[in-house]
Structure 1
Amino acid sequence: MTSYATPVTTAAGAAEKAVRQRITTLSRSLRQVTSVAHLQKPRFVDYDSIRDAAGAVHGRKKVILMSGGCSIPTCTMCPFTNYNNHGHGANAEGLRTQVATMLARTDTEPDYTTLALYNDGNFFAPREVLVDVQLDIARQVAATGVRRLVVESLPGFLTAATLSPFVEALGDVQLEVGIGVQSAHRLVRETLVNTRITQRQFESALTVLSDLGVLAKIYLMIKPPFLTDAEAVTDVVDSTAYVADLGVGQVTLCPTRLAPNTVAWWLHQHGHYAAPNLWTVVDAVRGAHDKASVRVACINMRGSDFESLYPDSCPACADDIVAGLVAYSISGDLTELPTGCGCRPPLESVALDEQTILARTRSILDLCEGLA
């Protein structure tokens, strides 16, 4: 496999850097500042069940706060600047009010012990959530009886100095931090996804989390832009093995959806990218299953929650595949997954060849920019 640690020659590194700069410029140019600020209330609240790495199932409340968005919005597929207050800045009092309101339990509310509290970005980035607001939220959560709190952040913000006061303020609540590392392959992660995560940052963050007794929740993408479906399966399987070797027992696989104002959408509009086929998602799950505890991010994968293009197959099997993926994510039982359909495309195992992928990426950018 091509791992995080693959050495890069000077010439190859310069070529990759040049492509990354083009993708970064393109990604930033496609972002749109929200014309009118959204109200300070969570943009998403839902209840479900989630399986942990040990196989236990917990009731979960998932909340996405209305925030000022990610402070490093370079990723090629991330749609969230379309839905938050991107361009309007952080709102400390708004976040405090949203959390206080959301934590007030009602008689009709489903029972839950896990609270997933997301801010469309990096919870521990002080530009996005002020440090005193972080600590206020920790104290509020600690008083609710929640057993586990899940937040998300890029690993560069996960230091002992930042996390220690937060963990202390949480008291007996178990903290879990989601990291969207997306891929173990340097070229895929740092250029095709265009996320600001290096191998050193990621592994350092895992050490910090472990030392503080904080759990790591790892997200891996299924088919980043510029990859084929066959390469996408290889990427997921290799990446799951890498994460497992680092001692993380569970991964969440995220099938890519295409949302406006992203590089993924832009490529699709020019005929050079499609969301992964649902059978590709099934193959990725099957390949990763024996390497770690696997779940799939399946919220409304049939595609009615946002203006997006979702993974799909044919009308005869699509609903059954999604239902099977949801059931598998709770049970961990591969028999929940469908086994075939006449529409299922052939998919042979393929290695990730960095020179081939980089050349393809450069060619696609040239073609699409010529059409723009």
Structure 2
Amino acid sequence: MKSIREAGARERSKARRDLDPYSYVSCWTEDEVMDNQECKALVLILATKGCSWALRSGCSMCGYTNESSSSATDESLWQQYLSGMKNFAAQRVLKIYTSGSFLDTFEISLDLRKRILQDAFDNFDMIVVETRHEYINRKNLEDILPYREKLVLAVGVESSNDLVVHYSVNKPSLFTHFISASSLAHSMGFRVKSYMMFKPPFMSESDAIRDAVNTIRDLSQYSDVISINPTNIQRDTVVELLWKSGAFRPPWLWSLVEVIRSSNISGPRLMSKPTGAGTVRGAHNCGRCDERVLKAISSYSVRQSLDVFEDIDCSCRKTWERELMISRFGNYFTESNYRIRE
């Protein structure tokens, strides 16, 4: 395990790019749901100095450390934000992402944080920012209290099983710490969106389904929205090293559907918008049915009705069922996960 992590760190170090501090990483418009209605969201990724955890060690699946700028300053980040706002076209939601945590002063200073949030508050109906749970403390929340009406704190929980988080994800996090952070945020009037990682490395397909269902159940008490994030293959990561050696396959889309169907929760909205889905680097089926299954998953994320899956089928479902059965007996190298195609 240690040697794999060290190899991942070497790959990240070799490939890391130092981006222009005045240019954002990416900006686009996507579909979103607000107040149970479909709307548009503007997504802006800022090139900060990078995730503090990634610079020390890093999560097994995350390649976002490559999207940072060591020379970023308050002024350059503000210019990135203003450049991104040129894409504003009456979107109701703004999602501000960094390679780590919006509430970490190493990436976003308090003054800049307030400056960005004030401008966003004046122009959008909902603002989503990502942060690790350790930065959700009373001091940080009091500093952004004026914006709580529109602010959603998105937190990467990954799994409610601490062993999975520690050994599979390589993240210094405990579920009890998330519970404390979420409870504090809710008590102060903030909303919480939880990200869970579906099928971390070193986990079979069947175990991944079980872990996801358990995690969704555990998250339901502490989340306003739960986002199922199937693991995708990002470059220069531990997960990519495993994938290239044939030791990892991103989850089947059928598995994602199974998780949704098996998660009988009330309260939070359950959703999934898989990155890289339908490609060999993302959650996928056989290629023939991927688009139809993804459309059903997208529809479920809006409607919250399992009816969208009733007429979805494909011959590859039999292959998935067979591999699921095999994986329950510990034979991880099934027929589809050792064929690597680009």
TM class by smaller structure: 0.7 to 0.9
* Structure 1: distance between partners of 2:99 and 2:296: 27
Equivalent position of 1:71 in the other structure: 52
* Structure 2: distance between partners of 1:200 and 1:176: 20
Equivalent position of 1:123 in the other structure: 102
Is 1:281 aligned to residue 265 of structure 2?
no
Picking from 165, 174, 185, the partner of 2:143 is 165
Change (3 A) 1:290 1:43: same
Check the 8 A contact 1:298/1:325 in 2, yes or no. no
Check the 8 A contact 1:222/1:284 in 2, yes or no. no
Q: Cα distance, 1:207 vs. partner?
A: 1.8
* Structure 1: distance between partners of 2:198 and 2:17: 32
Query: Counterparts in 2 of 1:327-366, with a 5 A limit?
Result: 327-337=299-309, 339-344=312-317, 345-346=320-321
The amino acid across from 2:210 in the alignment is T
Query: Counterparts in 2 of 1:76-225, with a 5 A limit?
Result: 76-82=60-66, 84-85=67-68, 88-104=70-86, 109=89, 111-144=90-123, 146-168=124-146, 170=147, 173-225=149-201
The amino acid across from 1:342 in the alignment is S
Check the 8 A contact 2:46/2:98 in 1, yes or no. yes
* Structure 2: distance between partners of 1:152 and 1:184: 18
The amino acid across from 1:179 in the alignment is V
The amino acid across from 2:239 in the alignment is A
Structure 1 gap segments, 5+ residues each: 1-18, 362-372
Equivalent position of 2:211 in the other structure: 235
Is 1:253 aligned to residue 260 of structure 2?
no
The amino acid across from 1:80 in the alignment is Y
Quick one: higher RCO (CA 8 Å, sep 6+), 1 or 2? 1
The amino acid across from 1:76 in the alignment is S
Q: Cα distance, 1:35 vs. partner?
A: 4.2
The amino acid across from 2:241 in the alignment is W
Change (3 A) 1:342 1:221: same
Post-superposition CA distance 1:128-168 (Å, at most 9, x none) = 11121111112222232x12111011111111101211222
Check the 8 A contact 2:192/2:224 in 1, yes or no. no
Q: Cα distance, 1:91 vs. partner?
A: 2.7
* Structure 2: distance between partners of 1:159 and 1:103: 29
Number of paired residues?
323
Equivalent position of 2:11 in the other structure: 30
* Structure 2: distance between partners of 1:81 and 1:139: 27
Q: Cα distance, 1:182 vs. partner?
A: 0.6
Equivalent position of 1:266 in the other structure: 241
* Structure 2: distance between partners of 1:51 and 1:59: 8
RMSD of aligned alpha carbons: 2.7
* Structure 1: distance between partners of 2:235 and 2:167: 20
Change (3 A) 1:236 1:347: farther
Q: Cα distance, 1:58 vs. partner?
A: 3.7
Picking from 281, 284, 290, the partner of 1:309 is 281
- TM (norm. structure 2) is 0.85
User: What's the % identity of the aligned pairs?
Assistant: 21
Question: What is the DSSP-based 3-state SS (H/G/I as helix, E as strand, rest coil) of the residue aligned with 2:144?
Answer: helix
Change (3 A) 1:103 1:36: closer
The amino acid across from 1:165 in the alignment is D
309-318 or 96-105, which deviates more = 96-105
Structure 2 gap segments, 5+ residues each: 333-342
Equivalent position of 2:339 in the other structure: none
Check the 8 A contact 1:183/1:221 in 2, yes or no. yes
